Amino acid sequence: MASQHEWDQFTGFEQYDRFTKAWLSGCRRVLKSTGTIWVIGAYHNIYRVGRILMDLGYWILNDVVWIKTNPMPNFRGVRFTNAHETLIWAKRSEKGRYTFNHHAMKVYNDGKQMRSDWEFPLCTGAERVKINGEKAHSTQKPEALLERVIVSSSVPGDIVLDPFFGSGTTGAVAKRLGRRWIGIEREDSYADIATERIAAVSAPTPEQLEALTPPDAQKPQRVPFKKLLELGLLKAGDKLTERKTGTVATVQEDGTLIAKRKHGTIHKLGAIVQGVPSCNGWEHWLYKDPKTGSQQPIDELRKIARATLAPPGV
> CA 97, 100, 103, 109 torsion: positive or negative?
negative
For residue range 247-291, list pLDDT tens digits in order.
999 999 999 999 989 999 999 999 999 999 888 999 999 999 988
Give residue 254's pLDDT: 94
Give residue 2's pLDDT: 40
- Contact in structure between 23 and 31 (CB atoms under 8 Å): no
Give residue 219's pLDDT: 56
β-pairing, 262-264 vs 130-131, is unpaired
Q: Three-state SS across the chain? A: CCCCCHHHCCCCHHHHHHHHHHHHHHHHHHCCCCCEEEEEECCCCHHHHHHHHHHCCCEEEEEEEEEECCCCCCCCCCCCCCCEEEEEEEECCCCCCCCCCHHHHHHHHCCCCCCCEEEECCCCHHHCCEECCEECCCCCCCHHHHHHHHHHHCCCCCEEEECCCCCCHHHHHHHHCCCEEEECCCCHHHHHHHHHHHHCCCCCCHHHHHHHCCHHHHCCCCCCHHHHHHCCCCCCCCEEEECCCCCEEEECCCCCEEECCEEECHHHHHHHHHCCCCCCHHHHEEEECCCCCCEEECHHHHHHHHHHHCCCCC
Give residue 96's pLDDT: 82
Give residue 314's pLDDT: 43
- Contact in structure between 151 and 105 (CB atoms under 8 Å): yes
Give residue 127's pLDDT: 84
Q: Which of 213, 251, 248, 233 is nearest to 290 (CA)?
A: 233
Give residue 39's pLDDT: 98
- Which stretches of the chain score pLDDT less than 50? 1-3, 312-314
State how far the Cα of 32 lies from the Cα of 159, in Å rounded to an integer: 10
